[in-house]
Structure 1
């Protein structure tokens, strides 16, 4: 019990010290010259930022989510040897059902259409 209390006190003190240091250190106040793009002394011709496709971002996010969920599904065959097969199969069916409902929802709302802008 005293170990938990001592860890809590250390975490609290460390948090307070970091907040105080963050307030004491000088803030970064950039001016116009520092934030403007540099092109050998000339004014920039085009924007320094390229346009970003929000549709691509959504597709990439969906890929990461489903890829992570597949990584969660990989240890399930091993879990059948540790616990009963019925409990493991119920968990697998429920998890796949939730994944399927999410995929159908994205499909209906057009989240997987590449042609639409």
Structure 2
């Protein structure tokens, strides 16, 4: 027979986390309805991030260059995230770590040159 009592602290932790997250989401909504501060009108429900109302269907397709720029950003952001730990641990990894990072950077440079060549970074 398997003793599942070892998992009890994890289940308690998950129950507390679920209860707190639900309280942080639903408690403010309930309090605002009870106190009368829930008063939506056209100005509160208007678009505030972009500054103007949507002029097309929200399900319209984006230009593929938008996704390409986003992917390039993620790739080079990850590169920056890898460079710091590599630089800190370089004395422990030695020449093998240095050569591996140079290969990684060379591959990124090739990808960047290709993206530049095909015009992925040009925005119209």
TM-score, normalised on structure 2?
0.47
TM-score, normalised on structure 1?
0.50
